[in-house]
């Protein structure tokens, strides 16, 4: 039995992390698998537990009180975005400082930084008073966890402790914005949209995805076991479900009118489908605005083999 690993005791998590352990940590987006960023052995355990290639760089999470400029070089744009959206679901990709080790960035000269807004994450980060790497706490290639139970399901044997901060309020991973001296671009859509970013910067930002810019954003990154069918309308969805059922297939149907609710429940729905051993998922795509774009991005990845 591993239930004793799930706790709300932040002091215990600090103790485990301080002695080189790895801890499931709630954030407002998804649960992360946390370790001291400057502890090479602890970070190696994070990669091993996830089964993640070591050249896939990690996000360093900082407390709202931390001096982020110790970790990264902030352009004016990066500073403006941090001021506008931290603490919150925004990751800034900036040039790293000499403090940031290769084992965090996979040898890249940039570092991903984020100040989460989940109260328990903030309390933990304040208490450890250093940066914590925290990739999503799922096995490599699988959907991110949005509850402590999801973390236990995926990594229960490998993790030292899981801090239970309830179900994540956002449900999809943070928006990643690369802020380099000559360019700003959105590398991963999230609940903070390009429109919101452009409003703050009073400038048009690019968007770019792909392996080279941010390794780990493989097309097939968020994959459930079942086949995923994407449709644009409820009517099409019902039709698709009927067609699949007629052919003897078991279908899990995903449809939400409210996009925030959709984001919050998306990964739980995908996990649920796999647990119920159904062979197909029919998902009605959300609108192409707000967090709808991030949901569509993840669904498209879920549908790619
Ligand atoms: O919401 C989130 O961002 C969650 C929570 C736990 O904070 N974390 C998360 O981490 O989604 P992860 O490791 O699953 O995804 C981070 C992405 C990866 O695709 C990684 O390749 C990219 O960020 N990344 C991190 N550092 C990078 C760097 N220096 N250059 C390019 N991409 C980087
Ligand atoms: Mg991930």
Domain span holding position 127: 3-207
pLDDT of residue 208: 80
pLDDT of residue 216: 56
| Residues 134, 244 within the same domain | no
| Residues 25, 168 within the same domain | yes
| Residues 239, 198 within the same domain | no
* pTM for this prediction: 0.96
- Distance between start and end Cα atoms, the chain: 34
pLDDT of residue 219: 56
| Residues 154, 63 within the same domain | yes
pLDDT of residue 1: 46
Q: Residues with Cβ within 6 A of ligand 1?
A: 27, 29-30, 32, 56-59, 91, 93, 105, 108, 110-112, 114, 116, 134-136, 173-174, 176, 214-217
Element at 25 (helix H, strand E): strand 23-25
Whether residue 298 lies inside any domain: the answer is yes
pLDDT of residue 297: 93
| Residues 160, 12 within the same domain | yes
Domain CATH for 254: 3.40.50.11030
Looking at the structure of the chain, the number of domains it has is 2
pLDDT of residue 225: 87
| Residues 175, 82 within the same domain | yes
| Residues 166, 292 within the same domain | no
| Residues 49, 190 within the same domain | yes
Task: Count the Cβ atoms, other than its own, within 10 Å of residue 115.
Answer: 22
Domain CATH for 19: 3.90.870.10
What separation in Å is there between the alpha carbon of 183 and the centre of ligand 2? 25
What separation in Å is there between the alpha carbon of 135 and the centre of ligand 2? 6
| Residues 30, 86 within the same domain | yes
Positions of the chain with pLDDT lower than 50, given as ranges: 1
Exposure string of 131-155, with b = 16+ CB inside 10 Å and e = fewer, is bbbbbbbbbbebbbbbbbbbbbebb
Quick one: which atom of ligand 1 is closest to the CA of 52? 13
| Residues 13, 79 within the same domain | yes
């Amino acid at each position: 039995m591993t239930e004793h690993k799930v706790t709300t005791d932040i002091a215990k998590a600090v103790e485990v992390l301080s002695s080189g352990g790895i801890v499931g940590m709630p954030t407002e987006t998804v649960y992360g698998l946390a370790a001291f960023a400057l502890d090479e052995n602890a970070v190696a355990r994070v990669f091993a537990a996830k089964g993640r290639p070591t050249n896939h760089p990690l996000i360093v999470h900082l407390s709202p009180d931390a001096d982020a400029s110790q970790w990264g070089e902030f352009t004016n744009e990066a500073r403006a975005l941090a001021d506008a959206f931290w603490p919150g679901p925004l990751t800034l990709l900036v040039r790293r400082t000499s403090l940031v080790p290769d084992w965090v960035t996979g040898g890249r000269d940039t570092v991903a930084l984020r100040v989460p807004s989940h109260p328990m994450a903030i309390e933990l980060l304040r208490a450890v008073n250093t940066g914590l790497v925290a990739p999503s706490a799922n096995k490599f290639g699988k959907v991110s966890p949005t509850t402590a139970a999801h973390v236990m399901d995926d990594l229960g044997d490998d993790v030292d402790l899981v801090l239970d901060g309830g179900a994540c309020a956002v449900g999809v991973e943070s928006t990643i914005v690369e802020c380099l001296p000559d360019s700003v671009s959105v590398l991963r859509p999230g609940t903070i949209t390009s429109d919101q970013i452009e409003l703050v910067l009073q400038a048009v930002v690019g968007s770019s995805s792909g392996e080279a810019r941010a390794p780990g954003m493989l097309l097939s990154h968020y994959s459930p076991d079942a086949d995923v069918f994407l449709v644009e309308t409820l009517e099409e969805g019902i039709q698709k479900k009927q067609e699949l059922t007629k052919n003897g297939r078991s279908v899990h149907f995903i449809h939400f009118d409210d996009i925030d609710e959709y984001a919050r429940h998306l990964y739980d729905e995908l996990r649920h489908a796999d647990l119920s051993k159904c062979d197909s998922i029919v998902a009605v795509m959300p609108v192409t605005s707000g967090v709808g774009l991030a949901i569509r991005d993840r669904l498209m990845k879920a549908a790619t083999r």
